[in-house]
A and B are shown apart, each in its own frame.
Chain A
Amino acid sequence: MWKWLHPYANPETTYHLTGRIIPWFSALTIALLTIGITWALLFAPADYQQGDSFRIFYIHVPTATLSMGIYVGMAIAALCSLVWQLRLADASAAALAPIGAVFTFVSLVTGAAWGKPMWGTWWIWDARLTSQLILLFLFLGVIALHNAFEDKTSAGKAAGILTLVGVINIPIIKYSVEWWNTLHQGATVSKMGKPSMSIDMLWPFIFCYMGFVFLIVVITCIRFRSEIISRNSMRPWVRELVLNQGVK
């Protein structure tokens, strides 16, 4: 059943595959983000209540939802690495953590910049904001654990356990605005039924969102490749690669 996946558990195959993917996805990312951001900032209509300030939505919402997405991806990789001891799953979890941390940080900063003019405050300890801050700390903890051990296997194990424990935070972030009274508003796009947004505002969002998705894919591939190289530096195929291409 899993036979078709087996070649990709080989670091060398995966290294070359991701190398071939990167240029295509980079081009896609640049195209989507250029169209999306230009559309969002210049051509999308201003909001009836918030005016132009609402445009930060196009950065804030993708980074915030995708920071959770990255965490879930990292948790799945951590599970695979803990249970099936796949070395590559471990490498991908290590590759994802800093990207997730940056996305979480961007969502917090853009949220603060949006909160000041609209709500009247940079920060408030409401359930949504606090749980998102905890997500940032989880990412930082995972990064720290990956770097805390000389031996990559035990580092991966420790970081993997923290990652899996932290999964509890994800539904809390997602449903915080429904379970408790918060200053933060409810979900606009990711909810059942029709999004609470007019269609000419939604299209640029879809472009921005997909742009950020592929941005993550590209950066992950780049980091993943360097993780593979550094973890397999003693293998003959890596030596051959270095000899053929020269050390850059």
Chain B
Amino acid sequence: MNPRRKKRLTIVASILIALSLVSGLVLYALSQNIDLFYKPSEIYNGKEGTGTKAINGQRLRIGGLVVPGSVKRDENSLKIAFKLADMKMPITFDENDPMITVKYDGILPDLFREGQGIVANGVLNTDGYIIEATEVLAKHDENYMPKELEMDGSKTSMEATAKGY
């Protein structure tokens, strides 16, 4: 390669390497703040990595799975309360998992259901680990399949559980 081109290539390459180092470090430093939400266990134990704990009365977003059987609706209004647990693979729920109660008064997104991923925005009350939410958003996963297949799938997975796999 001719020396002028070589020089230009070195300059461009070194600028790029320096920039990616800088942005990598900046993103690493900010990594906890870029997270959109806290997980329920992180409300109890502090953020993974840094250990920053949310304080009483702090406004935050929480993300987790709606615990089946925990959804309580008010008969006369839109008020609803439900529990959120950490998402883990495979999806299982346990009594002893850290759970956060979310109280909300408003219209829920279509995808809201038991076992569904939810992100709620609200004020934390650490007394009973309750969040008074002003906004509830549904998070869906990256799996797409037709209805019939899903029923087949759940059937086989249920059979698998019955067999003790």
A-side residues, CB < 8 A to B, are 45-50, 54, 57, 79, 82-84, 117-121, 124-127, 164-165, 167-168, 172, 179-183, 185-188, 196-198, 200-201
Q: Which of B12, B19, B139, B146 contacts A168 (CB 8 A)?
A: B19
Q: Which of A79, A185, A187 contacts B139 (CB 8 A)?
A: A185
Q: Are B147 and A46 in contact (CB under 8 A)?
A: yes
How far, in angstroms, from A50 to B144 measured CA to CA in the complex? 9
* B74, CB-defined interface residue at 8 Å: no
How far, in angstroms, from A167 to B16 measured CA to CA in the complex? 9
Within 8 A of A (CB), among B123-160: 135-150
Question: What residues on B are CB-neighbors of A172 within 8 Å?
Answer: 23, 27
Question: Nearest chain-A residue to B6 (Cβ)?
Answer: A83
Interface of B is mostly: mixed
Question: What residues on A are CB-neighbors of B75 within 8 Å?
Answer: none
Q: Which of A49, A180, A198 contacts B35 (CB 8 A)?
A: A180
Given contacts A46-B146, A84-B5, A117-B109, 14 further A-B contacts (CB under 8 A): A45-B146, A45-B148, A49-B111, A118-B140, A119-B137, A126-B36, A127-B34, A180-B35, A181-B39, A187-B142, A196-B141, A196-B144, A198-B144, A198-B149
Q: Are A124 and B144 in contact (CB under 8 A)?
A: no
* B78, CB-defined interface residue at 8 Å: no
Q: Are A118 and B138 in contact (CB under 8 A)?
A: yes
Tell me, rounded to whole Å, the shortest Cβ–Cβ distance linking A64 to chain B: 13
Q: Are B12 and A119 in contact (CB under 8 A)?
A: no
How far, in angstroms, from A181 to B9 measured CA to CA in the complex? 37
Tell me, rounded to whole Å, the shortest Cβ–Cβ distance linking B30 to chain A: 10
Question: Nearest chain-A residue to B108 (Cβ)?
Answer: A120
* B52, CB-defined interface residue at 8 Å: no
Tell me, rounded to whole Å, the shortest Cβ–Cβ distance linking A13 to chain B: 23
Q: Are A182 and B36 in contact (CB under 8 A)?
A: yes
Interface of A is mostly: loop
How far, in angstroms, from A174 to B108 measured CA to CA in the complex? 30
Within 8 A of A (CB), among B78-117: 108-111
How far, in angstroms, from A172 to B34 measured CA to CA in the complex? 12
Question: With A181-B39, A183-B119 given, is the CB distance from A48 to B147 under 8 Å?
Answer: yes
Question: Nearest chain-A residue to B22 (Cβ)?
Answer: A168
Question: With A46-B147, A196-B143, A197-B143 given, is the CB distance from A119 to B31 under 8 Å?
Answer: no
Question: With A48-B150, A168-B23, A183-B119 given, is the CB distance from A82 to B12 under 8 Å?
Answer: yes
Question: What residues on B are CB-neighbors of A82 within 8 Å?
Answer: 8, 12
Q: Are B110 and A118 in contact (CB under 8 A)?
A: yes
Q: Which of A47, A79, A120, A126 contacts B144 (CB 8 A)?
A: A47
Question: What residues on A are CB-neighbors of B150 within 8 Å?
Answer: 48
Q: Are B63 and A48 in contact (CB under 8 A)?
A: no
Q: Are A181 and B137 in contact (CB under 8 A)?
A: no
Q: Are A127 and B145 in contact (CB under 8 A)?
A: no
How far, in angstroms, from A180 to B141 measured CA to CA in the complex? 15
Can you list 20 A-B contacts (CB < 8 A)? A45-B148, A47-B145, A82-B12, A83-B5, A83-B12, A119-B140, A120-B137, A168-B20, A179-B31, A179-B34, A180-B31, A181-B39, A182-B36, A183-B119, A183-B139, A185-B140, A186-B142, A196-B144, A198-B145, A198-B149
